């Protein structure tokens, strides 16, 4: 956006006219002064800034700060005034004393608006990281979930009702102390869950609960587990930490915490939740966990999904790439029209995200890995056909002309002049696409496309972070191994 002071070949224009034109529309004065490209750009930017200001003014989905609109207006007016002064000085062929001011104003405008509409909140980013550290640590180091043991433990359960029933007789009874057996009570035994208040950006704590337990092993750690009405088990959290404790010398425990934040959805009436206190007394017979075994099975399926999708994609992308190469199809109006039609279809297919193709495939053939293969195949065809065609367009024309001069047929020209030149990039693109498909197969699982992605999102939905971490690590390990293998293949054969 800097303005040069070097005199050009253009005739000197009236600074007054240039300034008045920029007053009407920033950039018009630049266009008048001979800076046509810069003038068009400034006009487009001015229109965008004004349009976005009106858009932000009527925005309801995001809570903008009260002074945001004023800042946007002041910045836009400042840019407008800068454009007027710059156009007048351009017309007079005089150097402008603040050539970068326009760029600063433009960037300031877009970053102020972008900061607001994306709701960037550094206070929450840094201040609430501790609340997610437990989740983060379990995903990064999930190996405790890879091994299971035969566990001897002692436990006791009670119930909690949400919301409190109108008939007090329906409130879950609390058994209390029992001779020689573990017991647990909750006071009160009904109430409301914590909820996130978006207007305040904080969690509104629900009913405060007092958990008392006894009959436990003295001086031993106690886990608290919460099972909702649907049978999903959680470790309740309060003030950013898991609700847990240690039994005292008499085997008793008292903990106070707020009712956890649990999504009740369209719940009708009162639902009963189960609260369990559990102590682990010993472990024996280590063996692979069910989650680890399932994740290993699914990562193998995911690799084969990527293999099948890549293979099917190659079979269809190779012939399509020849009719999507301009240098082969520009010989006549008919072939050129076919070229444009094919490129348009490929662009449309490639622009649709694989997850959308996954939804369509699930509706088409049902849940499972085959739906994932279909979705990946469609995206692979469009992507590889584009890459292959660009490889064809970049080939040397010398071998084609030499073989054509011998009277060879079009098929012979393709086989002997084109194919030998495109095999190396074809192999490279194909290996890279298989790598991409392994990662995309994980995303396809979100919509029921089978593979490891499907159980990954189930674990996340159930807050089973260590099991989710196992899936993440297996995907990362698989992609790393394939990256190394593909590098070796390219080094040896490409």
Q: Which CATH number do you get for residue 243?
A: 2.60.40
Of 240, 264, 287, which marks where a domain is finished? 287
State whether 251 and 154 are in the same domain: yes
pTM: 0.63
- pLDDT value of residue 132: 80
**Which of these, 290, 296, 300, 311, lies nearest to 441 by C-alpha position?**
300
The residue among 125, 121, 131, 129 whose CA lies nearest residue 63 is 121
Supply the pLDDT for residue 8. Answer: 42
346 and 489 both lie in a single domain: yes
CB count within 10 Å of CB 4 equals: 12
Determine, yes or no, domain membership for 133.
no
Q: Give dist(CA 311, CA 317) in Å, integer.
A: 10
Rounded to 5 degrees, φ, ψ at 333 are -60, -35
Measured in degrees and rounded to the nearest 5, phi and psi for residue 70 equal: -65, -40
Residue 188 falls within a domain, yes or no? yes
- Where among 287, 315, 335 does a domain terminate? 287
Q: Chunked in runs of 10, what are the mean pLDDT values of the chain (494 residues)?
A: 43 82 90 88 93 83 78 92 90 76 91 88 80 83 88 90 89 81 93 85 89 93 92 87 92 94 81 93 87 92 91 92 86 89 92 90 89 92 92 81 79 79 83 86 83 88 88 90 79 66
Roughly what angle, to the nearest 10 degrees, separates helices 290-323 and 333-351? 160
Q: Same structural domain for residues 336 and 280?
A: no
Tokens 């877009």 appear where?
110
- Residue 444 included in any domain: yes
Is residue 296 domain-shared with residue 277, that is, in the same domain? Answer: no
Place of tokens 């608006």: 113
Tell whether 400 and 372 lie within a shared domain. Answer: yes
Q: State the Cα angle at 176 between 174 and 181, rounded to 5°.
A: 125
DSSP label of 181: B
| Strand segments (E) across 140-234 | 147-162, 183-187, 195-197, 202-204, 208-214, 221-227, 233-234
**Between vectors from CA 90 to CA 88 and to CA 91, what angle results, nearest 5°?**
65
- Asked, for residue 142, whether it belongs to a domain, the answer is no
Residues 188 and 64 in one domain: no
Residues 213 and 184: beta-carbon distance below 8 Å: yes
User: 409 CB contacts (<8 Å, ≥6 apart)?
Assistant: none
CATH number of the domain to which 470 belongs? 1.10.3720.10
Domain residues for the domain of 151 are: 147-287
Judgement on whether residues 387 and 249 belong to the same structural domain of the protein: no
Partners of 153 in the β-ladder = 280
Residue 138 lies in a domain: no
Q: How many domains does the chain have?
A: 3
Instruction: State phi, psi for 279 to the nearest 5 degrees.
Output: -120, 135
State whether 283 and 340 are in the same domain: no
Domain end among 255, 287, 319:
287
Residues 251 and 358 in one domain: no
Residue indicated by tokens 């696409």: 433
Whether residue 312 is found in the same domain as residue 433: yes
């Amino acid at each position: 956006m800097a303005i040069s002071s070097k005199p050009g070949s253009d005739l000197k224009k009236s600074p007054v006219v240039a300034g008045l034109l920029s007053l009407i529309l920033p950039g018009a004065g630049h266009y008048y002064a001979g800076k046509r490209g810069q003038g068009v750009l400034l006009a487009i930017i001015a229109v965008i800034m004004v349009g976005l200001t009106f858009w932000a003014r009527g925005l309801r989905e995001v809570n903008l700060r009260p002074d945001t609109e004023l800042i946007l207006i002041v910045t836009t007016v400042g840019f407008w005034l800068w454009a007027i002064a710059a156009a007048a000085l351009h017309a007079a062929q005089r150097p402008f004393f603040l050539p970068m001011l326009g760029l600063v104003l433009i960037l300031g405008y877009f970053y102020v608006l972008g900061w607001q509409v994306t709701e960037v909140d550094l206070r929450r980013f840094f201040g609430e990281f501790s609340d997610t550290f437990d989740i983060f640590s379990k995903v990064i180091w999930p190996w405790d979930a890879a091994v299971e043991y035969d566990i001897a433990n002692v436990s006791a359960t009670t119930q909690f009702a949400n919301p409190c029933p109108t008939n007090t007789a329906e409130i879950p009874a609390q058994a209390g102390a029992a001779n020689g057996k573990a017991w647990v009570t909750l006071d009160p035994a009904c109430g409301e869950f914590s909820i996130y208040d978006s207007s305040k950006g904080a969690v509104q704590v629900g009913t405060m609960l007092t958990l008392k337990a006894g009959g436990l092993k003295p001086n031993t750690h106690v886990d608290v587990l919460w099972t909702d009405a649907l049978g999903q088990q959680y470790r309740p959290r309060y003030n950013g930490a898991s609700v847990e404790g240690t039994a005292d010398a008499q085997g008793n425990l008292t903990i106070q915490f707020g009712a956890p934040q649990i999504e009740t959805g369209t719940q009708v009436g009162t639902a009963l939740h189960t609260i369990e206190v559990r102590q682990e007394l010993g472990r024996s017979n280590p063996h692979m966990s069910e989650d680890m075994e399932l994740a290993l099975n699914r990562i193998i399926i995911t690799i084969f999904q990527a293999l099948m999708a890549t293979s099917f994609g190659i079979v269809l992308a190779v012939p399509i790439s020849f009719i999507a190469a301009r240098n082969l199809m520009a010989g006549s109006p008919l072939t050129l029209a076919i070229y444009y039609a094919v490129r348009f279809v490929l662009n449309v297919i490639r622009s649709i995200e694989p997850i959308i193709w996954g939804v369509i495939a699930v509706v088409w053939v049902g849940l499972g890995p085959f739906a994932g293969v279909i979705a990946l195949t469609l995206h692979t065809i469009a992507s590889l056909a584009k890459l292959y065609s660009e490889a064809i367009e970049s080939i040397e024309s010398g071998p084609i002309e030499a073989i054509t001069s011998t009277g060879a047929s079009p098929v012979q020209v393709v086989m002997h002049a084109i194919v030998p030149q495109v095999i190396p990039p074809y192999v490279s693109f194909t290996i890279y696409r298989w790598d991409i498909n392994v990662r995309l197969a994980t995303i396809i699982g979100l919509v029921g496309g089978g593979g490891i992605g499907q159980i990954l999102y189930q674990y996340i939905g159930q807050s089973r972070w260590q099991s989710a971490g196992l899936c993440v690590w297996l995907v990362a390990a698989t992609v790393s191994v394939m990256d190394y293998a593909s590098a070796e293949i390219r080094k040896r054969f490409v």
